[in-house]
A and B are shown apart, each in its own frame.
Chain A
Amino acid sequence: MRIYLDYNATTPLAPEVVDAVVSTTRELFGNASSVHHFGQQAKGAIDDARAAVAALLAANPFEIVFTSGGTEADNLAIRGAAEALEATGRRHLVASAIEHEAVLNTLKALARRGWRTTLVPVGQTGIVEPGRVREAVGDDTALVSVMHANNEIGTIQPIAEIAAIAHERGALMHTDAVQTVGKIPVDVKALGVDLLACSAHKLNGPKGAGALWVKSGTRMQPILTGGKHERNRRAGTENIPALVGFGVAARLAAAKMPAEAARVGALRDRLEEGILRQVPGTVVNGARESRVPNTTNISFERVEAESLLIALDLQGIAVSTGSACSSGTLEPSHVLRAMGFSAHRTQTSLRFSLGLFSTEAEVDRVIEVLPAIVEKLRGLTKKTRQAAAING
């Protein structure tokens, strides 16, 4: 039995999504820009998906720009807004220090081209304080980007308050909602943002599909130029099967949301409490009261997370540390570092993220095998230290 507890990295597809992707791949090959029957069929399918995604965000369908995924949506939001506002003299960008690389590295790229950037620090709760954002935002700020929930620790950010601060200074507000859309209710108007990014494969949809919600009237330049797709906001022939799958996944998530969030939340709590009880020297990272229901991030004192992850995988349990680098090795989490945790705490932290197919039996199995694995790894660390002491 293999147990998958890495839903924040990606999710298995819902069976309904697989069916929709397969049948669309087989039947709807048309180019949605074509005038004829085949084009109309394809266009109809995309419009249907657009309506479904819009409904999940309590948004208007025409405000949805489909992209290749969350990373492209973040890039479009930040680069698109930056370019549109460049002429106004707003050459400053603000983001939190715990953003996803899609945001952080886009800011870095713009910084190399002369944009000023400010990263707002975050304390050990893992929650951005609106007051710190207020200190960072100025009259030349073009855009503030703060994620809705953090991918590594799951903490939910006070987006509405931060959006109000951004708007006071005339800046746009973007939120990377990749880790909340499909997990908890997301209402673009209640959040008060101008731009919101999400991704299909985090809600049991296919990879290669994402969306940027762009509030009507928001100034934004396209970053991919070409045909007049997506109302001139994103050129390129649409990936119809993936978008249809996204639509189906969005409808499923909306239909299941309150009950499923409660179910997954109870499983997460069971896992978290079980680990804290059964494994000595464990502690949860980040504020526990304000998190997406599926995520927990736990430090295992004196155990290298890299080793623990591999030992668990060899027992059929898939978890994660924060994010993997290009070669697949583990880098110390920039999120935990930004929260001010020690190198030791950072290197001993593991993320468990649950979802649609997670069961109580899986959670109980993890709680059962984890103590022995941790004990074994701790024993080896001790021996190595003793050996090092003897060998000088």
Chain B
Amino acid sequence: MRIVVAMSGGVDSSVAAALLAEQGHDVVGLSMQLYDASGDAGGERAFGSCCSLDDLHDARRVAAVLRIPHYILNFERQFDEQVVSNFVREYAAGRTPLPCARCNSDLKFATLAVRARGFGAEAVATGHYARVERDAATGRYLLKRGVDASKDQAYFLFSLTQDQLAGAVFPIGGRPKEAVREYARLHRLPVADKPDSQEICFIPDDDYATFVGERAAGGVAAGAIVDESGRVLGRHSGIHRFTVGQRKGLGLSASPTGAPQYVIALKPVDGQVVVGPKASLERTALSASGVNWIVGEPTGPMRVAAQIRHRHPAAPSTVRATGDGRAEVLFDAPQVAVTPGQAVVFYDGDIVAGGGWID
């Protein structure tokens, strides 16, 4: 079977390609060029780690070692339209976006998958730590957490549709990270010891605020930092610089009680950043939109473990679909820092039941 592997030049997708090739599949490596790498006079723009020219070069080296064809597709326009502009819009609107999830559902398993079909491929594989299985009883494709809990990335894949999951392969989802690296070393892949990427790939120097400030339509406005009663405590230079739950960098003198202050809410209309004590961050419920039910939409309340951020423990909750792709989540115990723009993902054990965008 011909399988396209989305190769980023990192160790995970490299091993994904290697494993499929080892299993005898007809593997075609594709890498996405996501921003203009040509620059002036052939120079390289100083972008972050994951999609630079060096990474495309690494992907090509791995493909050469594996003796598989490899192509670089120019997705600059699509990436800008589907991921980057959403990222900027969300921050400017006082929300905290999750671009990797958008990239997965709107680019890798959409635009890239369509291209892959054009090349005669039946599936698209990535180096995500997640698993996909077909439920024999219902015939539905299920998304499951990767076996390495510390690396699990199912959270970023919650919005894949049944069609997308049917054509998705996650070859390393059943392995711990260390085993993936070990495999890469054993097979002499040139990226075996390359560090994991940490930052958002298109943000230079991890400075997202400058990036958003330069691109936000209509610019970004300075405003007031207020307490929960509306009393002005200080000034800020744009709400896009803040995220719910943030404690550092508020530039405030200590509160009268000396207790640390956290960002409780962002108010785009007033341009206000609301701060308060940690207790004010607690929420017992949230509502989500754009909900994708991988196991099928439940007709009544459903018991799940709800995860409100990547690398955040999933909390016992009850979720109810409320129509129009919306859902209400009631936590058994209050949760800290429910952040609009992030995803809430519902788990049933290892299985991703579904998920949506926090409002």
Contacts and interface: CB of A to CB of B under 8 A. Distances in A.
Interface of A: 105, 108-109, 306-307, 310-311, 313-314, 325-331, 376-377, 380, 383-384
B117 A380 contact: yes
Contacts, number: 51
10 closest A-B pairs by beta carbon, nearest first, are: A329-B74, A329-B72, A329-B33, A377-B118, A380-B118, A328-B72, A310-B71, A327-B56, A307-B118, A384-B114
B69 A314 contact: yes
21 contacts: A105-B41, A306-B73, A311-B119, A313-B69, A314-B28, A326-B37, A326-B53, A327-B57, A327-B72, A328-B60, A328-B72, A329-B33, A329-B72, A329-B73, A329-B74, A331-B38, A331-B74, A376-B118, A380-B117, A380-B118, A384-B114
Contacts of B118: 307, 311, 376-377, 380
B33 to A, nearest CB: 5
B115 interface: yes
Interface in B26-75: 28, 33, 37-38, 41-42, 53, 56-57, 60, 69, 71-74
B119 A310 contact: yes
A307 B72 CA distance: 11
Contacts of B38: 325-326, 331
B58 to A, nearest CB: 12
A326 B42 contact: yes
Nearest to B32: A329
Contacts of B57: 327
A105 B41 CA distance: 8
Interface residues of B, number: 22
B234 interface: no
Nearest to B121: A314
Q: For the complex, would chain A's binding face be called helix, strand, loop or mixed by DSSP majority? A: helix
B120 interface: yes
B28 A306 contact: no
A314 B120 contact: yes
A356 B72 CA distance: 29
B119 A307 contact: yes
A57 B37 CA distance: 39
Nearest to B2: A314
Contacts of A306: 73-74
A330 B74 contact: yes
A313 B73 CA distance: 14
Contact of A327 (B33, B41, B69, B115): B33
Most A CB contacts (10 A, CB to CB) among B56, B111, B119 go to: B119
B221 to A, nearest CB: 30
A310 B30 CA distance: 10
Contacts of A307: 115, 118-119
Contacts of B37: 325-327
Contacts of B119: 307, 310-311, 314
Contacts of A384: 111, 114
B255 to A, nearest CB: 46
A328 B28 CA distance: 16
B292 to A, nearest CB: 13
A314 B42 CA distance: 29
Contacts of B53: 326-327
A105 B42 CA distance: 10
Contacts of A311: 118-120
A383 B111 CA distance: 11
Given A314-B28, A377-B118, A109 B72 contact: no
B40 to A, nearest CB: 9
